[in-house]
């Protein structure tokens, strides 16, 4: 063995030793050598890698040291869609949830696992052959941002796993309370602004372009879900947590197995009383159906998994005074009352305003200017007036009346039939147009960077635009005369507008702002409109009247769709968008007798095509996708390391094909 081979061998041993002690300290909470000794090993490795750069690997512990400065965060599509959980605030909510489960699962016995709900930033970690290759933020659940370099600075996240496998997992990045206090002491010494709370500090750190700053924030991470490949996901949540820990991930130790919903409630009560004893923020517990087979049967609603729910703890409460009421106008014309209050610090943020949702809320609470109110945070995020202390009410206060006119355009307001809300009658109301356009250019829709509310207001006010379609005819010279508009800023906005002209259909449908049609329902509509031979101006009565038949679209939302596409003003907008050169990206629909109306199930890891791309191909060719084997399944596509689905398919006599056969079929 020559000298270089010995050096390489020693470097590998150093990495293995450092990773072992990282695992002991950050995952198992054990320490068998001092911090100084571990730092000494890291320094030795760093020097050797500097001297012998050809031995540097992407998963070396030295890669955790911040120093990289990124230009921007690149958007990436998640392998597996990221969901939000429904919330429960009372025991009745949990019993209602279980009743919904039993309706679907019938006589199946349901058991649960309960985990602490970490109050941090949701992230996705992807590994290939055991090497950390990609870290993502949640984003909108479909598209996130690549924050790999920032996540590499977190010692609790393994750069190399204990097994050579392909896997994607979900976790939560957070900052310990004790570390948060240290950070704020440093901020104070430097004369800088203090961080508001650990949650915001963690989220803000991951959004830093300098990894050096991220490394200084002392971030930590728990991993709690194994999400890909589906064929390898263990049969219970308990086994899943054990496997994650054995792979080298830091798993929160305070989970518990619960035989029934009463056990769940006991776990919830226990942690509601002692969550403050932890060195990190939690805002509730997460309850999951333990068995994977039952989770597969339960599936998802348009917004959340049916098999899991978050039970929140009672919120922190404080008192303050109402000093005024303002009335806002939303993009649908809805008038929303907002309470203006004396500022208070609640859960790490300054609260000055709280929405009252509608006028029934004012009537129910009997809110008046001058009242002392109890403020809480709904779901630990949104400020909410919980109650009024009427004993402290000043004399001669007056009830708050429903305004007769829109606060922006002074047109009469109306109450719609079967609704509690009031609306501005004027479809051309300035506030309405601003909110519509802001929604149109938002990230979930056309994603036009740089067009904030104040700029949209100026463009409308100067008569440069009258609706969203006019944005696409703007020139740099149109923006230059506006206040505080340098050439570079104007040029950037024009470029962003031009770049946004090519848009997937589901995001285009979201941008239209139809009531009840957000991102989830837009995905359902996308498939329907493609099947009808979509064109931007083709909204015939025959097509629109069929939306009622779309699975997942209720009668009320279907009526909203019909109303929108029968409105002459909206038809005019669509024609203007077409003339402006908006290019809708469509899935190509071709009739393929081998695929058309056939039901496909996939199992195992695909080699030449990603699973989500394969499933998308089936949908393009008018086939159907299912996650579970049933008597109506037509094909099971077998990838590498398949699960139990292949055995079930054999028993039911379902045709099993490999990846090569599938690719030939869709060619």
Q: What is the pLDDT of residues 651-666, one digit of tens each?
A: 888 889 888 888 888 8
Q: Is the pLDDT confidence value at 342 over 80?
A: yes
- Distance between CA atoms of residues 167 and 161, nearest Å: 10
> Among 38-42, 407-411, 464-468, 630-634, where is mean pLDDT lowest?
38-42
Same domain, 166 and 279: yes
Helix (H) or strand (E) holding 11: helix 3-22
> Which 3-state string (H, E, C) describes 122-158?
EEEEEEECCEEEEEEECCCCCEEEECHHHHCCCCCCC
- Distance between CA atoms of residues 493 and 500, nearest Å: 11
To the query of whether residue 415 is one of the catalytic residues in this protein, the response is no
> Among 66-70, 346-350, 538-542, where is mean pLDDT lowest?
66-70
Pairwise pLDDT comparison (125 vs 22), residue with the higher score: 125
**Average pLDDT score over residue span 576-603:** 77
Which residues, at least 6 apart from 170, have a Cβ–Cβ distance to it below 8 Å?
Answer: 82, 122, 123, 124, 125, 223, 224, 225, 227
* Best CA proximity match to 212, nearest among 157, 160, 152, 159: 152
- Distance between CA atoms of residues 310 and 115, nearest Å: 10
> Which 3-state string (H, E, C) describes 273-336?
HHHHHCCCCEEEEEEEECEHHHHHHHCECCCCECCEEEEECCCCCEEEEEEEEEEEECCCCEEE
Q: Which of 473, 500, 527 is the last residue of a domain?
A: 500
Q: Which of 500, 527, 547 is the last residue of a domain?
A: 500
Q: Is the pLDDT confidence value at 288 over 90?
A: yes
Mean pLDDT of all residues in the chain? 83
Same domain, 333 and 398: yes
Distance set, CA 400 to CA 82, 132, 324, 409 (Å): 42, 57, 10, 20
Q: Is the pLDDT confidence value at 591 over 90?
A: no
- Distance between CA atoms of residues 574 and 595, nearest Å: 33
Give residue 25's pLDDT.
65
CATH code at position 53: 1.10.287.610
209 φ/ψ angles, rounded to the nearest 5 degrees: -80, -20
CATH code at position 607: 3.40.50.10190
Pairwise pLDDT comparison (640 vs 375), residue with the higher score: 375
Same domain, 263 and 123: yes
Same domain, 145 and 185: yes
Specify if 423 maps to a domain: no
Give residue 248's pLDDT.
92
Q: Which of 286, 312, 338 is the last residue of a domain?
A: 312
Which residue range forms the structural domain that includes residue 281?
86-312
> Among 75-79, 464-468, 573-577, 632-636, where is mean pLDDT lowest?
464-468
Residue pointed to by tokens 């009560």:
269
- Distance between CA atoms of residues 82 and 121, nearest Å: 13
Q: Going along 511-645, which residue ranges are E strands?
A: 583-585, 599-603, 624-625, 635-638
- Interhelix angle for 453-461 vs 430-441, to 10°? 130
Paired residues of 327 in beta bridges: 337
Q: Is the pLDDT confidence value at 487 over 90?
A: no
Specify if 81 maps to a domain: no
Specify if 76 maps to a domain: no
* Best CA proximity match to 433, nearest among 457, 416, 412, 402: 457
In the structure encoding, which two tokens stand for residue 358, read together? 């509608």
CATH code at position 544: 1.10.150.20
In the structure encoding, which two tokens stand for residue 547, read together? 């939306």
Specify if 238 maps to a domain: yes
Pairwise pLDDT comparison (89 vs 417), residue with the higher score: 89
Which one is catalytic: 63, 117, 347, 617? 117
- Distance between CA atoms of residues 201 and 617, nearest Å: 41
Specify if 545 maps to a domain: yes
597-640: pLDDT as tens digits: 788 888 877 778 877 678 767 766 767 777 778 878 888 998 87
Pairwise pLDDT comparison (255 vs 13), residue with the higher score: 255
**DSSP secondary structure string, 47-62?**
HHHHH-GGG--TT-GG
- Distance between CA atoms of residues 327 and 408, nearest Å: 9
Pairwise pLDDT comparison (133 vs 90), residue with the higher score: 133
Same domain, 120 and 228: yes
**Average pLDDT score over residue span 524-536:** 74
Same domain, 538 and 627: no
CB atoms within 10 A of CB 56: 13
Specify if 26 maps to a domain: yes
Using CB atoms within 10 A of its CB, is residue 80 exposed (0-12), middle (13-18) or buried (19+)?
middle
**Average pLDDT score over residue span 563-585:** 86
* Best CA proximity match to 159, nearest among 261, 56, 81: 56
Same domain, 308 and 342: no
Same domain, 581 and 632: no
Give residue 359's pLDDT.
83
- Distance between CA atoms of residues 491 and 160, nearest Å: 44
- Distance between CA atoms of residues 474 and 448, nearest Å: 13
Give residue 378's pLDDT.
58
CB atoms within 10 A of CB 195: 19
CATH code at position 333: 2.40.50.140
What's 160's DSSP letter? B
Number of domains in the chain: 6
Pairwise pLDDT comparison (569 vs 222), residue with the higher score: 222
**DSSP secondary structure string, 63-123?**
GGS---B-S-PPEEE-SS---PPEEE-SHHHHHHHHHHHHHHHTT----EEEEEEE-SEEE
- Distance between CA atoms of residues 21 and 33, nearest Å: 8
Which residues, at least 6 apart from 624, have a Cβ–Cβ distance to it below 8 Å?
Answer: 597, 598, 599, 600, 618
Same domain, 410 and 548: no
Same domain, 389 and 537: no
Q: Is the pLDDT confidence value at 68 over 60?
A: no
CATH code at position 102: 3.30.470.30
Give residue 292's pLDDT.
93
Contact, 144 vs 137, CB < 8 A?
yes
- % residues pLDDT > 90 (the chain): 21
Same domain, 445 and 572: no
Q: Is the pLDDT confidence value at 557 over 80?
A: yes
Specify if 449 maps to a domain: yes
Helix (H) or strand (E) holding 376: strand 372-378
Give residue 211's pLDDT.
84
Distance set, CA 128 to CA 5, 162, 605, 656 (Å): 26, 12, 12, 27
For 450-478, b where at least 16 C-beta lie within 10 A, e where not — what string? ebeeebbbbbbeeebbebbbbbbebeeeb
133-181: pLDDT as tens digits: 999 999 888 888 999 999 999 989 999 998 999 999 999 999 999 998 8
355-366: pLDDT as tens digits: 888 888 888 888
> Strand 318-329 relative to strand 335-346: parallel, antiparallel, unpaired?
antiparallel
Q: Where are the alpha helices (DSSP H) in 533-656?
A: 541-545, 555-566, 568-579, 611-620, 645-652
Specify if 448 maps to a domain: yes
Pairwise pLDDT comparison (460 vs 257), residue with the higher score: 257
Same domain, 110 and 228: yes
540-544, long-range: CB < 8 A, 24+ apart = 541/566
């Amino acid at each position: 063995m020559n000298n270089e081979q010995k050096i390489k061998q020693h470097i590998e041993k150093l990495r293995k030793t450092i990773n072992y002690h990282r695992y002991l300290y950050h995952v198992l909470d054990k320490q068998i050598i001092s911090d100084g000794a571990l730092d000494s090993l890291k320094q030795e490795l760093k020097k050797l890698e500097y001297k012998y750069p050809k031995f540097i690997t992407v998963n070396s512990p030295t890669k955790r040291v911040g120093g990289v400065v990124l230009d921007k965060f690149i958007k990436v599509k998640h392998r597996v869609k990221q969901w939000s959980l429904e919330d429960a605030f009372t025991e009745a909510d949990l019993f209602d949830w279980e009743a919904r489960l039993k309706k679907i699962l019938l006589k199946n016995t349901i058991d649960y696992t309960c985990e602490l709900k970490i109050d941090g930033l949701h992230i996705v970690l992807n590994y290939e052959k055991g090497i950390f290759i990609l870290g993502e933020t949640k984003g909108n659940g479909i598209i996130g941002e690549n924050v790999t370099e920032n996540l590499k600075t977190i010692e609790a996240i393994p750069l190399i796993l204990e097994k050579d496998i392909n896997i994607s997992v979900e976790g939560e990045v957070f900052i310990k309370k004790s570390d948060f206090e240290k950070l704020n002491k440093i901020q104070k010494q430097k004369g800088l602004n203090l961080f508001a709370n650990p949650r915001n500090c963690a989220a803000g750190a991951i959004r830093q372009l300098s990894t050096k700053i991220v490394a200084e924030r002392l971030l930590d991470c728990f991993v709690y879900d194994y999400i890909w490949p589906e064929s390898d996901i263990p049969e219970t949540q308990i086994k899943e947590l054990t496997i994650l820990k054995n792979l080298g991930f830091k798993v929160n130790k305070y989970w518990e197995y619960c035989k029934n919903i009463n056990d769940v409630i006991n776990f919830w009560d226990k942690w509601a009383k002692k969550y403050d004893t932890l060195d990190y923020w939690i805002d509730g517990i997460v309850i999951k159906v333990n068995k994977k087979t039952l989770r597969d049967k339960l599936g998802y609603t348009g917004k959340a998994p049916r098999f899991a729910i978050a039970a929140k703890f009672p919120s922190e409460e404080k008192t303050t005074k109402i000093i005024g009421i303002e009335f806002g106008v939303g993009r649908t014309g809805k008038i929303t009352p907002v309470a203006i209050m004396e500022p208070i610090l609640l859960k790490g943020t300054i609260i000055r305003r709280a929405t009252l949702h509608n006028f029934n809320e004012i009537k129910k609470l009997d809110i008046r200017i001058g009242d002392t109110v109890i403020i809480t945070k709904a779901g630990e995020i949104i400020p909410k007036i919980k109650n009024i202390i009427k004993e402290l009410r000043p004399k001669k206060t007056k009830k708050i009346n429903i305004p007769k006119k829109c606060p922006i355009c002074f047109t009469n307001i109306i109450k719609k039939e079967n609704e509690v809300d009031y609306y501005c009658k004027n479809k051309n109301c300035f506030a309405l147009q601003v909110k519509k356009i802001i929604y149109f250019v938002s990230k979930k829709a056309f994603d036009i960077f740089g067009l904030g509310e104040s700029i949209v207001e100026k463009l409308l006010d100067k008569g440069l635009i009258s609706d969203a379609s006019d944005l696409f005819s703007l020139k740099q010279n149109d923006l230059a005369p506006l206040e505080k508009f340098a050439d570079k800023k104007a040029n950037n906005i024009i470029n962003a507008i031009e770049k946004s002209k090519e848009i997937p259909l589901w995001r285009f449908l979201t941008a239209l702002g139809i009531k009840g049609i957000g991102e989830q329902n837009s995905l359902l509509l996308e498939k329907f409109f493609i099947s009808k031979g979509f064109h931007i101006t083709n909204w015939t009565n025959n097509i629109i009247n069929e939306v009622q038949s779309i699975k997942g679209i209720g009668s009320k939302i279907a009526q909203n769709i019909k109303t929108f596409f029968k409105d002459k003003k909206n038809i005019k907008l669509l024609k203007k968008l077409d003339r402006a050169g908006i290019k809708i990206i469509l899935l190509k629909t071709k009739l393929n007798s081998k695929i058309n109306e056939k039901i496909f199930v996939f199992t195992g890891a695909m080699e030449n095509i990603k699973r989500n791309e394969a499933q998308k191909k089936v949908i393009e060719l008018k086939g159907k996708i299912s996650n579970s084997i049933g008597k109506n399944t037509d094909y099971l596509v077998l990838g590498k390391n398949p699960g139990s689905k292949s055995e079930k398919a054999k028993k039911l006599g379902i045709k099993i094909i490999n990846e090569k056969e599938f690719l030939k079929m869709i060619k």
